[in-house]
């Protein structure tokens, strides 16, 4: 199959592989420890591990888009900020 129309670069492939691995790891974690460890965090409603993963991925997308719009094409600082944001979401939300 010819996927040249998709402009697969190494960063693009790594991005999608990382998302796939995160979702697969969350599925395996849920298989071995069902229930999602629901808890009430700073948002004051119950969230599970899957909810926190979704919120962290969504927030990371917005961080990267904002960085592209305001800071330029180098996304290393946006990646670092996204990792800190994801840790914060899993810790406090």
Q: Give tens-digit pLDDT for 57-69.
A: 999 999 999 999 9
Q: Is the pLDDT of residue 81 over 90?
A: yes
Question: 64, exposed or middle or buried, with CB in 10 Å at 0-12, 13-18, 19+?
Answer: middle
pLDDT digits (tens, 9 = 90+) for 14-34: 888 999 999 999 999 989 988
pTM reported for the whole predicted model = 0.80
Nearest C-alpha neighbor of 49 from the set 37, 64, 34, 60 = 37
When comparing pLDDT for 62 and 73, which is higher?
62
The whole-number average pLDDT for the span 20-49 is 89
């Amino acid at each position: 199959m010819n996927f040249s129309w998709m402009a697969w670069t190494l960063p693009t492939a790594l991005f999608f592989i990382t998302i796939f691995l995160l979702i697969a790891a969350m599925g395996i974690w849920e298989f071995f420890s069902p229930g999602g460890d629901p808890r009430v965090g700073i948002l004051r409603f119950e969230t599970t591990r899957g909810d926190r993963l979704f919120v962290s991925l969504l927030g990371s997308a917005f961080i990267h888009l904002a960085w592209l719009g305001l800071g330029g094409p180098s996304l290393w600082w946006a990646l670092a900020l996204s990792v800190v944001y994801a840790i914060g979401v899993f810790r406090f939300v």
